[in-house]
Amino acid sequence: MHSEETGAPRYLVQVIFYEVDAHAHYIGGKKAPEEQIWIRGDIRSGRTEAVKRNMLSRIVRDVAAATGSPEEYVWVYLCDLPAFHVIEYGQVMCPPGEEDAWFSTLPNKIKEGLQSAT
The per-residue pLDDT for range 25-48, each reduced to its tens digit, is 999 999 999 899 999 999 999 999
The pLDDT of 94-112, averaged and rounded, is 94
Q: What is the pLDDT of residue 116?
A: 75
Q: What is the pLDDT of residue 118?
A: 62
| Residue 6, number of CB atoms within 10 A of its CB | 21
Q: What is the pLDDT of residues 48-102, one digit of tens each?
A: 999 999 999 999 999 999 999 999 999 999 999 999 999 999 999 999 999 999 9
Q: What is the pLDDT of residue 91?
A: 94
Cβ within 8 Å of residue 54, ≥6 positions away: 5
> What is 2-115's CATH topology?
Macrophage Migration Inhibitory Factor (3.30.429)
Q: Beta 26-27 vs 87-88: how paired, if at all? A: unpaired
Residue 37 contacts residue 86 (beta carbons within 8 Å) = no
